[in-house]
Structure 1
Amino acid sequence: MSPTGDGRTSGFRETDRWNGGVGWIAHPDETMQRASHALVNDGEVWLVDPVDCDGLDDLIAPFGDVAGVVVLLDRHTRDADALASRHDVSVHLPRTLSGVADDIHARTKTFDKTLGNTNFHAIPVVDNPIWHEVALYDADSRTLVVPEAVGTVDYFRTGSARLGVHPMLRALPPRDALSGLVIDRLLVGHGEGVSKDAEKALDAALRDARRTAPELYLKNAKKLLPV
């Protein structure tokens, strides 16, 4: 996909549409499959870890006005500042990601337990000197948003698994943070989300993370070998 004159990609793939929002993958040919989401609450739209693309405003306009942009991972600033400036809103950061504000060229706000006036509550997933990640969970809609710890892209998964833990978290998967949640929908930062048996897929990914780690590392290593 070629970039437009203002730096946006000229195409995207829509994903994860439901009555509470929609997702999209800009640069759909990328290996990383960077996924972004628009979460809708009372006619307000919240853009989560967004990658900008041509046609994005048309995609989200039917859901309502943009109330804010959210960054859930310290490495996912992506196009948050550009979109916040375009819609004249703030970039919202979980308290543990407040240091990311220095990398964002737009006004920012921090939040602790709840995102704005939404039903989405913050769940700390990883918090260490090199990785700060927070998930969002809405118990009413049974929707969970995890930006990095789990994903559906090929380099996260082994065998027939639909979902996998990030390769760097396989030794210490975030079971305490993500286990036991009642979910019908799992939205991830890399790949399409899971809307069928999402809870079962998440439980399996967390349970099997360590056991299948060698298989995942071998599979990914083979892809890096010259042909």
Structure 2
Amino acid sequence: MPAKASGLGALNVVDEFDGGFGWISHPDETMERTSHALAGDDGVWAVDPVDAEGIDARFEEWGGLDGVVVLYNYHRRDAAAIAARHDVSVYLPEGMSALSTDDFAAPVERFEGRLPGTEYHLRTVTNRGVWQEWALCDGETLVVAESVGTADYFTAPGERLGVSLVRRPFPPAALDGIGPERVLCGHGEGISADAAGELERAISEARRTAPRMYLRHGPTLVRTLAAATL
């Protein structure tokens, strides 16, 4: 099983809800990279997308693609290719200094506050050094790029949602107290059953479960970190 698969993936739809959908293009890869489409006034916004056969038709079912959002500086993924194909821009959080127009073969725009044409607002998760991550939240749906996830290597035994191995010693306090109805993740399927409780538990127990997580998933962490930087 590769840490990160290459090539055009299949459209494995997950996280379907009234306001959009998610897909996992390569379900057999260890990283379980998940992409999302969030509904706006006229169409959908693709968030941290990995390309997949048939995704363009799904965008059209929702009114077309309004833009592509990158929430984490290591999640360029296929943002430029998808944006260029639909003649839209890649949108970056205003404070994301680690990425620039030179990193994308597509137009780049910066935004802060509300994502245009939606009720989603940016929330800074962390913007320190090499880790620059934002989340999107509309009060009901929280989209988190990297700090929490449901992929196997994010979770301790008994967890449905877990804090990233890298963030376990310093869990994302910026996500505490939000109380969303659903959490959509950049790695693994999202959760909607008791999402607020799972998010609170994941953050509060992150340090306590860290030693077990490192013993269980340490080699996977090394492989996925290496793959993420390629």
Given that 1:37 and 1:50 are in contact with CA atoms closer than 8 Å, whether structure 2 keeps it comes out as yes
1:1-227 pair list within 5 angstroms: 8-101=7-100, 102-139=102-139, 142-175=140-173, 177-221=174-218
Which AA in structure 1 matches 2:108?
T
Q: CA deviation at 1:222?
A: 6.8
Number of aligned pairs? 215
The 8 Å contact of residues 184 and 191 in structure 2, kept in 1 or not, is answered as yes
- Tell me the CA shift for residue 99 of structure 1: 3.9
Per-residue CA deviation, residues 42-79 of structure 1 (Å, 9 max, x unaligned), is 23210000000111112222111111000000000000
Query: Are the counterparts in 2 of residues 52 and 83 from structure 1 also a CA contact under 8 Å?
Result: yes
Confirm or deny: 8 A CA contact 1:98 1:110 kept in the other structure. no
TM-score by length of 2: 0.90
Q: Determine the C-alpha separation between the residues in 1 that align with 2:132 and 2:9.
A: 31
Letter in 2 for 1:12: L
Structure 2 gap segments, 5+ residues each: 1-5, 222-230
Residue 91 of structure 1: CA displacement?
Answer: 0.3
- Kept in 2, the 8 Å contact 1:20–1:39? The answer is yes
Shift of 1:126: 1.1
Partner SS for 2:99: helix
| C-alpha contact 1:69 1:92 (8 A) present in aligned 2 | yes
Secondary structure of 1:210's aligned partner: helix
8 Å Cα contact 2:146/2:187 also seen in 1: yes
Structure 2 SS opposite 1:58: helix
Q: Following the alignment from structure 2 to structure 1, what is the Cα–Cα distance between the partners of residues 153 and 111?
A: 32
Q: Report the Cα offset of residue 223 of structure 1.
A: 6.3
What's the TM-score, normalizing by structure 1? Answer: 0.91
CA, structure 1 residues 98+89, in 2 after alignment: closer, same or farther (shift >3 Å)?
farther
The code of the aligned residue for 1:117 comes to: G
In structure 1, list runs of 5 or more residues that go unmatched.
Answer: 1-6
CA RMSD of aligned residues (A): 1.5
In 2, the alpha carbon distance for the partners of 1:84 and 1:222 equals 34
